Amino acid sequence: MSSCAAFAQQSGGDQKPPEQAQGEQKSDDKTANDQKAAEQAAQQEAAKAIEEYKEAAAKLSSSAGAPECVWTGRRIASLLWRDDIDTARRYIDLYDRFNCSSEHLKLVFRCVIEQGPIDPKAADRLASRVHDCWIAPQGDTTASSQPSVGSTTKAGTIPN
């Protein structure tokens, strides 16, 4: 065997078979596509949040429509719903510092609890209900914030 052939056999360890190289390229393409999809979803979520703040500012004439009040107030209502009282209390201090409407916060939380239980695993349903109540705390509820069909609560019981 010539020295060139022996050298070619030794250095060939770094090269990958064509099938494996194509598989890695497909994996890289899939990762890039997943990353692009995640970025698009994040952009859509940011645009949705901006629209929600604009909606609150347009529909609420008091300080409750200010973005800082909407942001903190919705978190307080969600935390109270999940029985995280200590964290909610810290947010209430911030909410008060922004001179936000404490009466509006009371109405929103009342609206959230009067609609009944929510599946604890459905965080998006709670967020939707809190947002709907923030915009119209004494208005009608929407389908997205209604309890799920087949709810096991009975009339006269206290929801958990």
The model carries a pTM of 0.63
Distances 8 to 1, 14, 80 between C-alpha atoms, Å: 11, 11, 70
Give the confidence band of 69 by pLDDT, cuts at 50, 70, 90: very high
**Token match 């598989």: residue?**
23
pLDDT per position as a tens digit, 25-53: 666 777 878 888 888 888 888 888 888 88
What percent of the chain is predicted at pLDDT more than 90?
41
DSSP class of 62: S
pLDDT per position as a tens digit, 120-147: 787 789 999 999 999 999 865 444 444 4
> What sign results for the dihedral spanned by CA atoms 91, 94, 98, 99?
positive
Q: Which of 103, 92, 94, 100 lies closest to 69, judged by CA?
A: 100
Tokens representing 92 are 């209430």
Distance of CA 99 to the CA centre of its chain: 26
d(CA 50, CA 42): 12
